[in-house]
Structure 1
Amino acid sequence: MLFNLFGWIWKRVRKWNLLSLLLTAFSWFGLGIWYGLGYCPCTHWHWLVRRELGYTNMPSSYIKFLIQELTAMNISAVAVDWLTGVSFGLALILSVALNIRDYKQNRRR
């Protein structure tokens, strides 16, 4: 998640960041058609492991889960979803823009 949000900062990994963001978008919106908007196979696997370990009453959002676990704050699911979506959108816009800029600069050389 941190790489998705901030990987665009470093030129050396920008292409990988864009790929990671596009794969995330495919998971959320492509696989989300069948499994529900925002579906992530990694989260699904984590929930299965936690269920086997006896954990119940898990939130539907992994980000909400992390916020609760790390800070003990109970932020509404709607607020977490908005924060996640806006953060993802900004990271995607920045990654696309910087990758295009890098491509154009490399073409001029």
Structure 2
Amino acid sequence: MWYPFLNIFFFVFHTAFTLFNCVGWAFAKTRKLHLATLLLTVFSWFVLGIWYGWGYCACTEWHWQVREALGYQDRSNSYIHFLLLKLTGKNFDQQLVERATLILFLFSFAMNLLFWFKHRKKR
């Protein structure tokens, strides 16, 4: 009975979290929270990833469990690949999506740190 709600919740929450990871650096008031979400992502991908596989995301895992309980068989290796497939209907190359995700993540992290240190120098 909760699964349809949880499926929508994960679509909204995980997509919002991902978008915030991409653009949170652009707004001075969100940079601390942005850095926290980036570090949480790093922890998930690289620390939990030691045991569950590189790029592991608990949110993705929980969403897949909910979708399996609803009878969906449309699992992907990454949430970004899955989201692109659902939004565009195109099955992009998974390695390309993973590389683009990592590049965008590193860019976002670098921008956050750049603004962080730039702001600290002004004080």
Q: Is the TM value for this pair above 0.5?
A: yes
Matched residue, 2:92: 75
Instruction: Please identify runs of 4+ aligned residues in structure 1 that moved more than 6 A.
Output: none
1:42-77 per-position Cα deviation (integer Å, ceiling 9, x unaligned): 101000000000111411111010000000011010
| C-alpha distance in structure 1 between counterparts of 2:71 and 2:27, whole Å | 40
The reply on whether 1:64 has 2:81 as its aligned counterpart is yes
Matched residue, 2:68: 51
| C-alpha distance in structure 2 between counterparts of 1:92 and 1:6, whole Å | 10
Counterpart mapping for 1:1-109 below 5 A: 1-105=18-122, 108=123
Unaligned regions of 5+ residues in structure 2, if any? 1-17
Unaligned regions of 5+ residues in structure 1, if any? none
| C-alpha distance in structure 2 between counterparts of 1:18 and 1:51, whole Å | 32
**Percent sequence identity over aligned pairs:** 45
Letter in 2 for 1:17: H
Matched residues, number: 106
